[in-house]
Amino acid sequence: MKKYLLPVACCAALVFGNVACTDNQKTADNTETANNEANDNYMRNATDGETNASNDGDTTGAATAAPAADPTATAPHKDDPEFMMSAAHSDQNEIQLSKLVLEKGATGMVKDHANMMIKDHTKSTADLMPIAKKKGVTLPTDMDAEHKAIAEQMKTLSGKELEQRYLQQMQMDHQKTLNTLQAHSTMTQDADLKGFIAKVTPVVQTHLDMFKKHAAM
């Protein structure tokens, strides 16, 4: 009987040993597969995180607003005739808008400023006229298109609202005029125009300082 039992026991041991080895191999394979999947998930998450961070950075950059344009910025005039035409228009803009606020009943400080604008800018045109005539340039005698539109808008206003609008417009206009004078003084080679600019610039600067002070009140 012992002779028969020994071979059977050996066979059983071999069978169970193979099963155990197979189970161990499956367990090892499953563990390796799980580890590989975990590593893959980690790499995907890391890549997604970098992509999202990059996109967030791009969005932030795209959302940055461009600085607002300066409404008083002016391009240099290409030549002396263009400058003289612009200077004459500038005088007419200030004269006509000042007459408008006086006609609509401006009072006090605004009335005084408007009368000053008419007087000083009429003189400016008178000083420029012989220079323009000498150069064969015919000066305009009315506002430019932009200020004609502004005048129409101002006609709809009255009282303090009109006066405040006038002061603000005068501040912007005089800043533009000052920029133009300073730019052309370095460009022109004409002695007459250099003399005109040197004479008018301090007057325009005084006007600008005055309107800066009162437009904010």
pLDDT tens across the length of the chain (217 residues): 444 444 444 334 433 444 343 444 444 454 444 445 544 544 444 445 444 444 444 444 444 555 555 665 666 688 999 999 999 999 999 999 999 999 999 999 999 999 999 999 999 999 999 999 999 999 999 999 999 999 999 999 999 999 999 999 999 999 999 999 999 999 999 999 999 999 999 999 999 999 999 987 6
| Backbone φ and ψ of 190, nearest 5° | -85, 125
Rounded-to-integer distance, Cα 98 and Cα 117, Å: 7
pLDDT value of residue 215: 84
Rounded-to-integer distance, Cα 178 and Cα 203, Å: 10
Instruction: Please state the pTM of the whole predicted model.
Output: 0.68
| Backbone φ and ψ of 184, nearest 5° | -75, -25
Comparing C-alpha atoms, which of 196, 170, 160, 161 is closest to residue 94?
170
**94, burial (CB in 10 Å: exposed 0-12, middle 13-18, buried 19+):** buried
pLDDT value of residue 52: 47
Query: Which tokens sit at 107?
Result: 């009072």
The one-letter amino acid code at 43 reads: M
pLDDT value of residue 71: 63
pLDDT value of residue 77: 83
Rounded-to-integer distance, Cα 126 and Cα 139, Å: 11
Cβ atoms of 93 and 173 within 8 Å: the answer is yes
Comparing C-alpha atoms, which of 148, 208, 150, 212 is closest to residue 180?
208
